[in-house]
Amino acid sequence: MDIKLLIKSSPRNIDKIYSTLSISLIAIVVYGLIAFSSNSSELINVIIKNTNAIFKVFLLIIIGLSVRFYRWKFIVKQLNLNIPLLGEIKSWLSSQAFLATPGGSGLAIRAILIKEKYGVPIKTLITPLIIERLSDLIAILLLMTLSFHFTPLSISNFIKTNLTANILIIIVLSLLTYVTLKSNRFLYKLFKKLFPKKFTESQYSAYLSKLLKNIYSKKLLISSLIGMVAWALEGIGLTIILKSYKIDNFNALWGIFTHSAGNLIGAISFLPGGLGTAEASMISILTFFKISLPLASASVLMIRLMTLWLASSIGFICLLLPTKK
């Protein structure tokens, strides 16, 4: 089992497993409180009375997971990893068990699994893992920015008619992206967060040089575009849930904006899985769209259960399945 490989690799990994399980229990409590404070019967109605919509969303999420795996294959393509396809799929899915970690940093467990099963050095996978996380961030930012122009929020209407505001937004976003990517301190912290094990300054410099080479190549751009497809599918899933309640004036772009903005705020909070902050943000945005609080709460809880927690559950199942090298 992959879980045994993790524990064998380092006894400290068992702490990560317990932490993730603790986060899951906290999530149950938080979601229960949200459901109780809004109207728990709405959540039950979403589940029972909209099985057709939920099935459609489930298919979208599975397609989204497939798209994300395809992105991973694209990122590591040039590494020529000699790994059986099924084995790589299982390792990738197993790492999703740690998706509910700050910034998804727990996904770095994938490098340990691949090393233990197939002998690929962890340092070989550091850059691909960081590219994967950066592409997610860029994908969310792009989706949120593009879909924002089609929302009925008052500030959006202002920006649509104000050329200066559009130019300023583009300049600010470009500067923030440039400064972030050029920030040696930021990238160093990212390395340390993903891989707490100490490494020498020369090793760090080599990794950083390789990472920057990838960042300024088309690989990051294409990875981000692929990531946009996966994130957009989740936003469309939220739209399907709401439309099943005859909310006809709510369109897919609004759903994509709501989902992207909520996940971005959740990531910035650096709470495990954005727990609490992502949900609260999405619910608040939906109420701006004139969605009732009970329906907004129930829909957000459902889409979070079918995205973050579905992926995590699949990951835990894969961790417990027998491992074949």
Q: Facing residues of 102 across strands?
A: 272
What's the sign of the alpha-carbon dihedral 190, 191, 197, 200? negative
Domain of residue 210 covers 2-320
CB 144 within 8 A of CB 264: yes
Q: Identify the burial level of 171 via C-beta atoms within 10 angstroms of its C-beta, where 0-12 means exposed, 13-18 middle and 19 or more buried.
A: exposed
CA-to-CA separations, 214 to 77, 155, 194, 219, in angstroms, rounded: 13, 36, 18, 6
Instruction: Measure the CA–CA gap between 121 and 197, rounded to whole angstroms.
Output: 14
Type of residue found at 109: I
In this predicted structure, what is the pLDDT of residue 82? 79
Q: Provide the pLDDT for residue 256.
A: 95
Q: Give the relative orientation of helices 13-38 and 308-320 as an angle to the nearest 10 degrees.
A: 150
Closest residue by Cα to residue 272 from 222, 232, 312, 320: 312
Q: Which tokens sit at 30?
A: 């938080």
Answer yes or no: is 112 within a domain: yes
Sorted by sequence, the CB contacts under 8 Å of residue 285 that are 6+ apart come out as 257, 258, 261, 262
CA–CA distance, 280 with 296 (Å, rounded to integer): 10
Assigned domain for 295 exists: yes
Does the residue 168 lie in any domain? yes
CA 185/CA 39 separation, integer angstroms:
45
Contact 67, 233 (CB under 8 A): yes
CA distance 44 to 85: 39
CA distance 57 to 54: 5
Q: How far apart are CA 84 and CA 118, in angstroms?
A: 9
Cα–Cα distance between 138 and 148 in angstroms, integer?
A: 15
pTM confidence score: 0.80
User: For position 23, what pLDDT does the model report?
Assistant: 73
- Which token pair is 156? 């959006």
Number of domains in the chain: 1
Residue 325 lies in a domain: no
* DSSP secondary structure string for all residues of 175-216: HHHHHHHH-HHHHHHHHHHH--S---HHHHHHHHHHHHHHHT
Task: Give the chain's length.
Answer: 325
| CB 300, CB 46: distance < 8 Å | no
169 in a structural domain: yes
- What the block records as the tokens of 3 is 């879980």
Q: Is residue 63 part of a domain?
A: yes
Per-residue pLDDT tens listing for the chain (325 residues): 556 666 666 566 666 666 777 777 777 777 777 666 655 565 666 566 678 888 999 999 999 999 999 999 999 887 777 788 888 899 999 889 888 877 666 677 888 888 888 888 887 888 888 889 889 988 998 898 888 877 776 555 545 555 555 555 556 656 555 555 555 555 555 555 555 455 555 665 666 666 666 665 688 889 999 999 999 999 999 999 998 887 888 999 999 999 999 998 888 877 778 888 899 899 989 988 889 888 888 889 889 989 988 998 898 888 888 766 5
Contact 145, 169 (CB under 8 A): yes
**Maximum C-alpha span of the chain:** 59
pLDDT at 258: 93
